[in-house]
Structure 1
Amino acid sequence: MSYQYNNQQRQYSYAPPPPSYGGAPPPPPHLQQQQQWQYQQASSQQSRRQTAPPSAGVDPMLYHWFQAIDTDKSGTLTTEELQRALLNGDWSPFNMETVRLMMNLFDTDNDGTITFKEFTGLWKYIEDWKRCFQTFDADGSGTIDFNELKTALKTFGYNLSDSFIDLLIKKYDKYGNVHSLRWC
């Protein structure tokens, strides 16, 4: 594709630059070299992060899912990226506060993001809780009713009154069932 700008003919193989392109003169040579060096450093670091294959014993599906979630290709997940990936059973996103709490639990280097290794721990945690939920969902309904919750709590060593268990269900039933709790 050919494009005329400032009375000069330019060739582009993809698309013309935006209309505001080219208004400023190029930076001095020493700044061009510095910018090129910074770009090469950043590109090299990003390339190392992106191309590092999962180590032995790592679930390749989980690794590829992590890469798909990492929309900025930084090699880490932000709370926003993680929230977009985590969906409740009704396809609604996790509450941002819940995502932040999970990030804080698994962000072992406290940098505000989670690496693939940290994400693996988070994913195992979620899967363990899901299995726990399914274990006590005796009728396979996808909900934990009063008796199933009472059994679960007793299994964990909590001997709570029926009225307290009722209160728990009413407090944490976000779907309005009043008689049961649902997995996400």
Structure 2
Amino acid sequence: MVNKPLDEPLLSLDSALLWQFSLAVYPQLKTLCLRWQNDYDANINVLLALSLAEQQHWQLTSFSLAAALKALTPLNSQITEGLRQQRSQLACLGLSAAQQQQLKQGLLQAELVAEQLEQQLLVAQLRFHTQRNADNLSDYLQQLQVPSSAQLRRELIDLRQASAQFVASLS
């Protein structure tokens, strides 16, 4: 993360575009994103936001990510993660399959609302400046103290390629 030049205005993501991007890209990256969430404690919304910004050649400004994560943490830890955990424990409740499915769908809907609100918080906090070779994802993974590996580099390429395909489809 670097400071912006003094004469350049700060840029921010559009929350509607980020949500559209997430709905389009997440299904093909679900396995990768969930593994990073489970193994590295990465926030999938942050991954997606930073990936979209990279495709626009936008680099995070200094302290922007820290401010965004601070704003995001209460909603994520108290609501989103709780809903996710409740969904995973439905089999233990002794409900019929139909009842489990009904409750699972309701929890999933609530979780999606929480995810969308998380993205709105991110958009309100994250600030960028233009930079041809933006590398926000590496900055985030470094902050999470994820060790570099050949597998991680391949996964970053996969994430960036899926993101690039979405952005190209907008043209």
Given the two structures, how large is their TM-score scaled by the length of structure 1?
Answer: 0.28
Which one has the largest radius of gyration? 1
Q: Larger RCO: Structure 1 or Structure 2 (Cα < 8 Å, ≥ 6 residues apart)?
A: 2
Given the two structures, how large is their TM-score scaled by the length of structure 2?
Answer: 0.30
